[in-house]
């Protein structure tokens, strides 16, 4: 780990200003991803801006009937909050399916959304990675890529986004609130937060330099049955091979898809609105046809195509069983 300086600002405005005042500065909260990357010298910040003392650690109701989740709310606290469990069950289920209890106790809401890919070539500094070193190439293309993206990938990067929380947030139409070094604030739909790789896979979000996430806002509850199903290579402490976040409703005795998002398939949480509206109430294969339109699997990860279908079918069957009780 390389030497760095450190400060602990007292406000979001001070933190954002500090992040641009010193070139190479990074925010740190829980540190569950950043510290690992620093040890491997994948991230080499010259200065750490510790945001743990600036507040933003509460979950509060909004005037619109939803909830505002502070950026520093720990994953454990968010998943266990009675309002989240009652009204946003897909989010609670997604959080507890990820990492370990110890990591969830430290990891923050904003940090979870901003964690970097777990592609093994990104973590191996002896291998080419356009995300780590722009222009160096992508060793995953033509390498071992069984867990890589089948949707939204490019000739420069086929990595996937690792967050379970982000998939549920995408299904819930969450928005991300930020403050810039200038003091200006904005709200970003979570659909727009993460970038597809294109020719610039090192640009992972639309956040500007020094822009700090202060909260994530959930709209008023949608109701319905909310499920999160995660398929992974081992029973725990593993990232999704395929995951499904589903919000479904019973209308005139028929189960219909209200919201649907997927993890493990792309560089960002993957949601295709046409799969929710054009084929609502259809069989799983018809919905999967829409979701997988444009998929470009490799020889090694083509198994994800039938796995998406089977995982979606199992999730819908689970919802039907719950609706019939």
> pTM of the prediction?
0.96
- Do residues 76 and 90 both lie within one domain? yes
- Do residues 204 and 63 both lie within one domain? yes
Position 125 in a domain: no
Position 80 in a domain: yes
- Do residues 108 and 199 both lie within one domain? yes
If you average pLDDT over every residue of the chain, what do you get? 95
Position 93 in a domain: yes
Find the mean pLDDT for residues 75-87. Answer: 98
Expressed as residue numbers, the domain containing 34 is 5-53
Per cent of the chain over pLDDT 70 is 98
- Do residues 188 and 86 both lie within one domain? yes
Find the mean pLDDT for residues 55-71. Answer: 98
Q: For the chain, how many structural domains are there in total?
A: 3
Domain final position from 180, 202, 218: 218
Confidence of residue 255 (pLDDT cuts 50, 70, 90): confident
Please report the pLDDT score of residue 117 as a whole number: 98
- Do residues 309 and 289 both lie within one domain? yes
Confidence of residue 12 (pLDDT cuts 50, 70, 90): very high
CATH number of the domain bearing residue 287: 3.30.390.50
- Do residues 207 and 253 both lie within one domain? no
- Do residues 83 and 194 both lie within one domain? yes
Position 12 in a domain: yes
- Do residues 84 and 214 both lie within one domain? yes
CATH number of the domain bearing residue 41: 3.30.43.10
- Do residues 259 and 300 both lie within one domain? yes
- Do residues 187 and 279 both lie within one domain? no
Residue 244 pLDDT > 90, yes or no? yes
Q: Which of 110, 95, 269 is nearest to 259 (CA)?
A: 269
CATH number of the domain bearing residue 178: 3.30.465.10
Q: Which of 166, 34, 165 is nearest to 104 (CA)?
A: 165
Residue 278 pLDDT > 70, yes or no? no
Please report the pLDDT score of residue 264 as a whole number: 98
- Do residues 108 and 251 both lie within one domain? no
Position 25 in a domain: yes
Confidence of residue 109 (pLDDT cuts 50, 70, 90): very high
- Strands of the sheet with 59-61, listed across from one edge: 59-61, 67-70, 212-218, 175-179, 185-189
Confidence of residue 59 (pLDDT cuts 50, 70, 90): very high
- Range from 35-39, 142-146, 206-210, 278-282 carrying the lowest mean pLDDT: 278-282
Domain final position from 187, 202, 218: 218
- Do residues 209 and 63 both lie within one domain? yes
Residue 156 pLDDT > 80, yes or no? yes
Please report the pLDDT score of residue 289 as a whole number: 94
Confidence of residue 280 (pLDDT cuts 50, 70, 90): low
């Amino acid at each position: 780990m390389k030497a760095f300086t450190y400060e602990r600002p007292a406000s979001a405005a001070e933190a954002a200003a500090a992040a641009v005042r010193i070139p190479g500065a990074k925010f740190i909260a829980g540190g569950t991803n950043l510290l690992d990357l620093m040890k491997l010298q994948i991230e080499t910040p010259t200065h750490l801006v510790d945001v743990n003392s600036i507040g933003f650690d509460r979950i509060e109701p909004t005037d619109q009937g939803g909830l505002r989740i502070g950026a520093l709310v720990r994953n454990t606290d968010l998943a266990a909050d009675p309002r989240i469990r009652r009204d946003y069950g897909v989010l609670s289920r997604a959080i507890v399916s990820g990492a370990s209890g110890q990591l969830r106790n430290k990891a923050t809401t904003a940090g979870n959304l901003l964690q970097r890919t777990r592609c093994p070539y990104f973590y191996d500094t002896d291998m080419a990675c356009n995300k780590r070193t722009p222009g160096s190439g992508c060793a995953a293309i033509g390498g071992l890529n069984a867990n890589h993206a089948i949707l939204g990938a490019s000739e420069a990067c086929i990595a996937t986004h690792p967050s379970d929380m982000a998939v549920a947030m995408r299904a819930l139409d969450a928005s991300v609130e930020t403050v810039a070094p200038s003091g200006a604030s904005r709200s970003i739909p979570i659909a727009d937060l993460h970038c597809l790789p294109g020719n610039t896979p090192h640009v992972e979000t639309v956040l500007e330099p020094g822009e700090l996430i202060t909260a994530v806002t959930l709209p008023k509850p949608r109701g319905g049955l909310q499920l999160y199903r995660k398929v992974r290579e081992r029973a725990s402490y593993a990232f999704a091979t395929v995951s499904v976040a589903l919000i479904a409703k019973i209308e005139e005795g028929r189960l219909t898809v209200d919201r649907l998002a997927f993890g493990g398939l792309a560089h960002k949480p993957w949601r295709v609105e046409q799969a929710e509206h054009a084929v609502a109430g259809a069989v799983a294969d018809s919905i999967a046809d829409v979701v997988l339109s444009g998929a470009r699997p490799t020889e090694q990860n083509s198994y994800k195509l039938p796995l998406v279908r089977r995982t979606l079918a199992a999730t819908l069957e689970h919802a039907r069983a719950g609706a019939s009780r």
